A and B are shown apart, each in its own frame.
Chain A
Amino acid sequence: MKKQVSQWQDYKKGIWEINPAFKQILGTCPTLAVTGSVENGIAMALATTFVLVFSSFLISLVRRLIPNQVRIASYIVIIATFVTIVDLVMKAKFPEMSKSLGPFIPLIVVNCIILGRAEAFASKNNPWRSILDALGNGTGFLLALVLLSSIREFLGARSILGIQILPDSFEPMVVMILPAGAFITYGLLMGFSNTYAERKKRLKLEELLKIHRSNQAKISTEIAGQEV
């Protein structure tokens, strides 16, 4: 039972605790670049997750065979292989999507999330846990991209997933789908998530302090009672 809890934890932590986009601040380039529309955001996140899961699995399998000095280069070759697969499949099956994502599919190679997870997790843990970790981080990345792109598409083009939501009388805020909107939305979201985490931490601290104080008060009354 305990083992299952820890496996769930391997998956879950990527979603919020170490969310790649908001907490680790990794993979910022694609996060900003492809979130002009929800469709692109989802496609990018799925492509990244695919590469992340397979490269984490493979790296974890061969982790004892790779000498320490050349590990980064080996990881990059493994990652590049899977990125090439994704790139070619996208070009063949979804040519329009591939065109609108431009160079950002090939650029998954240098996405720090993948190398970061390879170095921090897959190189130290067994393949099964590495897959869970990769899936968790992929999910976290997907959620972050969906959130960011929904806000941008909603305000910038009045729609989500291409379906118009706001009426025509609403003047679209074009700046939101331009680069400037990406930076500002991402910055604000990251700031809010930090403030929230900060507040949670403070509340927890106050709670602990309260328990501590009440314990102390109890002890001191006990002592006083004994003295009387």
Chain B
Amino acid sequence: MELFVIFISAAVVNNFVLAYFLGICPFIGVSNKTSSAISMGMATTFVMVLTAIVSYFLYNFILVPYKVEFLQIPSFILVIASLVQFVEMVIKKVSQPLYRALGIFLPLITTNCAILGLALFISMREYNFIESVVFGLGAGVGFTLALVIMSGIREELELADVPKGFQGAPITLIVAGILALAFMGFAGMI
């Protein structure tokens, strides 16, 4: 039950994009087409779960025992960057179709603040191992959900007559605001 609450909380109630403002750059950048939104969402979810596992072990078995918690920012970012690079190489060797679907999005994920935010939340909230994994999965699902909904709206928006200055990022932000308003409806769930 506890795990379910963590999952739902990370996925919809405290959605990473629409409530915590994490990962806005890809949210604006890669939400033009539904197909690329799904690929990006999948790649991010995958990296999030891996990051949750790795940062849990890094924090609790290396940083805390050696009393170097103050190194968490540089160590997390380095681990995430090398993890993403490693995942990219493995996928390239193992599955070419998957590489073609996720490949170009993987390097972008390194500088996605949602990933580092996830690692920081895990150490801040002192989740145990299972909770960390569920939290990572929930955050990934929530990110994918927001991205896919947004891309659907933006595909329709192509046909709309938007004032020239508002085309592109500004109108996307305003739509995201309305979407955030809709997601506030979930707030009473937990």
Contact = CB atoms under 8 A, between A and B. Distances in A.
Is the A/B pair a real complex?
yes
A203 interface: no
Given A103-B120, A179-B18, A29 B113 contact: yes
B62 interface: no
Contacts of A180: 177-178, 180-181, 184
Main secondary structure of the interface of B (DSSP, over half): helix
Contacts of A194: 164-166, 170
Contacts of A209: none
Contact of B174 (A25, A115, A188): A188
B165 A179 contact: no
Contact of B113 (A80, A110, A193): A110
B164 A103 contact: no
Contacts of B164: 194-195, 198
Given A80-B74, A81-B74, A110-B116, A187 B171 contact: yes
Contacts, number: 122
B102 to A, nearest CB: 20
A211 to B, nearest CB: 25
Interface stretch (A2-10, A82-90, A138-146, A216-224): A82-90
A194 B172 CA distance: 14
B177 A182 contact: yes
A84 B74 contact: yes
A30 B24 CA distance: 10
Interface of B: 18-25, 28, 70-74, 77-78, 81, 111-113, 116-117, 120-121, 124, 163-166, 169-174, 176-178, 180-181, 184
Given A187-B176, A188-B170, 14 more contacts: A29-B22, A32-B24, A33-B21, A73-B78, A103-B120, A106-B116, A107-B22, A107-B116, A112-B25, A112-B111, A184-B178, A191-B165, A191-B174, A195-B166
